[in-house]
């Protein structure tokens, strides 16, 4: 697939993963095959597709990049000749002094080769209105790199779940050339019902990118309930596909000619005032120009 073809078929998978790694992997492979059978060029799995438990339990089943999870997905990407996103799994850290694993996405090309590894930047440390509390950073360590990968002439930006609430990440991905951005997620039911689709549409609209958002859905064994509604959104903010309340695969076509037309009609990247925001960021950090100016 190259941009000269102009059309890219995307598939977003919705799963209800549990604590049985073998079953989760079987289901993931089944859904990848289902997406490929529908003609998808790109197939994306959700966050925590291989194991959905508490942060502590997930950390206990962390694997290396050359472990079973990645090895099996490399094989199916090659067999079905699809670009495949392993939405996220827990990757064992090799850093000294911090044994917490990373929440990691891996992107494979059609030959099953790894073309990108992204480690979740923003960790979900929140207290919600229903009394539930999440402290992802207690067991997971954050990544430190923004990742854009190019394969077959298309640039893909990578992000995971809570990253969606930080628009500066998506602006940087777009400025680095991303045309399609992944948002694999396990959004809570409470936040998802109000924020999931509006945030996906906002990131697509403001950056004139297509967004592929595979998702976890339903009640999981760890007594966590996720919102689901895996979606594909185009660069105008139109929701091209959205999953019903069940495990499934949804597909949609992205037209790069249409995306370029959107960018021509509303040329936001030509109008960026980078110098204004550089000053604002310095001020927020207490650097040069930190003093407020009036008048």
Those residues whose C-beta lies under 8 Å from the C-beta of residue 274, and which sit 6 or more positions away, are none
Strand bridging mode 42-44 / 83-91: parallel
Strands, E, within the chain: which ranges?
Answer: 7-15, 42-44, 83-91, 102-108, 114-119, 125-127, 133-135, 148-151, 154-158, 180-182, 210-213, 215-219, 225-227, 231-233, 239-242, 248-255
Instruction: Choose, from 91, 136, 161, 247, the residue flagged as catalytic.
Output: 161
The two structure tokens encoding residue 51: 């194991």
Instruction: Choose, from 16, 91, 120, 247, the residue flagged as catalytic.
Output: 120
Those residues whose C-beta lies under 8 Å from the C-beta of residue 172, and which sit 6 or more positions away, are 146
Those residues whose C-beta lies under 8 Å from the C-beta of residue 102, and which sit 6 or more positions away, are 90, 91, 93, 119, 120, 140, 141, 142, 143
Instruction: Choose, from 47, 91, 136, 247, the residue flagged as catalytic.
Output: 47
Active site residue 120: yes
Active site residue 251: no
> What residues are labeled active site?
47, 120, 161
């Amino acid at each position: 697939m190259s941009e000269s073809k102009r059309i890219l078929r995307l598939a977003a998978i919705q799963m209800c993963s549990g604590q049985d790694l073998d079953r989760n992997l079987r289901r993931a492979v089944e859904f990848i095959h289902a997406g490929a059978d529908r003609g998808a060029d790109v197939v994306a799995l959700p966050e925590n597709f291989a194991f959905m438990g508490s942060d502590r339990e997930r950390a206990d089943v962390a694997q290396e990049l050359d472990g079973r999870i990645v090895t099996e997905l490399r094989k199916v990407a090659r067999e079905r000749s699809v670009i495949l996103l392993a939405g996220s799994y827990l990757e064992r850290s090799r850093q000294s002094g911090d044994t917490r694993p990373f929440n990691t996405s891996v992107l494979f090309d059609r030959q099953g080769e790894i073309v990108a590894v992204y480690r979740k930047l923003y960790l979900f440390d929140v207290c919600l209105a229903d009394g539930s509390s999440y402290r992802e950073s207690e067991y997971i360590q954050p990544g430190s790199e923004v990742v854009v990968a190019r394969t077959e002439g298309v640039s893909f930006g990578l992000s995971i779940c809570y990253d969606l609430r930080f628009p500066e990440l998506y602006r940087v991905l777009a400025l680095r050339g991303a045309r399609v951005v992944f948002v694999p997620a396990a959004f809570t039911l409470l936040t998802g019902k109000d924020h999931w689709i509006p945030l996906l549409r906002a990131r697509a609209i403001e950056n004139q990118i297509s967004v592929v958002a595979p998702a976890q859905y339903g009640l999981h064994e760890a007594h966590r309930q996720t919102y689901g509604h895996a979606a594909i959104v185009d660069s105008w903010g139109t929701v091209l596909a959205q999953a019903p309340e069940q495990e499934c695969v949804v597909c949609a076509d992205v037209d790069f000619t249409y995306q370029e037309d959107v960018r021509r009609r509303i040329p936001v990247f030509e109008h960026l005032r980078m110098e204004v925001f550089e000053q604002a960021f310095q001020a927020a950090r207490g650097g040069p120009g930190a003093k407020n100016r009036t008048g």
